[in-house]
């Protein structure tokens, strides 16, 4: 079984913000798979389904970004999911808008949601799909930037990015992280 968690902040005021890129990708994956992600459990919203023959849990933590690990850990513990079968999708300011970067493991790279998951899981050894939200403009506060919304053009690019991130997560489940990295970590 796989746990696919998309990170973001709950509430209307955070919808479609840069920090909610993980939620956007989970929504795209849920739509692609015909899964409802509305059941409340594990400090999040979740749904169950399948990617190919593999059972999957889709999770949108509702703990706010900085406490994402509480929700991810609760779901991983309940379903006894090993970290290598846990895929985390989240925003990245170091990538162009809508661009993906897959990794098998690694540090938090300054992302507080990932820091919290690493702290709660006790490991950095889990696959992740980073979705670019563009670089922060000079002299702008990072929190203001990631909690800001996309321009119309960027929103269109993000919709494509969410769909591609959903495909990437499915590829990790069906083909493994190495094959998925080879396919999705290419220059556009």
Digit-coded pLDDT (tens) for 42-72? 999 999 999 999 999 999 999 999 999 999 9
The burial class, CB within 10 Å (0-12 / 13-18 / 19+), for 115 is middle
Q: Is the pLDDT of residue 187 over 90?
A: no
CATH superfamily of 2-184: Peptidyl-tRNA hydrolase (3.40.50.1470)
DSSP class of residue 63? S
Element holding 162 (H helix, E strand): helix 152-175
| Selected catalytic residue, list 19, 85, 111, 120 | 19
**Residue 123: its pLDDT value, please?**
97
**Residue 59: its pLDDT value, please?**
98
Distance CA(32)–CA(40), nearest Å, equals 21
Q: Model pTM?
A: 0.96
**Residue 26: its pLDDT value, please?**
98
111 is catalytic: no
Q: Which residue has the higher pLDDT, 188 or 6?
A: 6
Domain-by-domain residue ranges, the chain?
2-184
**Residue 186: its pLDDT value, please?**
78
Q: Is the pLDDT of residue 188 over 80?
A: no
Which two three-digit tokens encode residue 122?
């006790």
């Amino acid at each position: 079984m796989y746990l696919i968690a998309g990170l973001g902040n709950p509430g209307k005021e955070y919808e479609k913000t840069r920090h909610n890129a993980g939620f956007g990708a989970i929504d795209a994956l849920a739509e692609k798979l015909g899964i409802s992600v509305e059941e409340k459990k594990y400090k999040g919203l979740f749904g169950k389904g399948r990617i190919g023959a593999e059972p999957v849990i889709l999770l949108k933590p509702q703990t706010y970004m900085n406490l994402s690990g509480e929700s991810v850990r609760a779901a991983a513990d309940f379903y006894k999911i090993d970290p290598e079968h846990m895929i985390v999708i989240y925003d990245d300011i170091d990538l162009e808008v809508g661009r993906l970067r897959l990794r098998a493991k690694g540090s938090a790279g300054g992302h507080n949601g990932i820091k919290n998951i690493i702290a709660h899981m006790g490991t950095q050894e889990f696959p992740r799909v980073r979705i670019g939200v563009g670089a922060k403009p000079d002299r702008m506060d990072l929190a203001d930037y990631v909690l800001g919304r996309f321009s119309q053009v960027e929103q269109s690019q993000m919709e494509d990015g969410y769909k591609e991130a959903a495909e990437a997560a499915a590829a990790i489940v069906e083909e493994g992280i190495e094959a998925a990295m080879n396919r999705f970590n290419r220059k556009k």
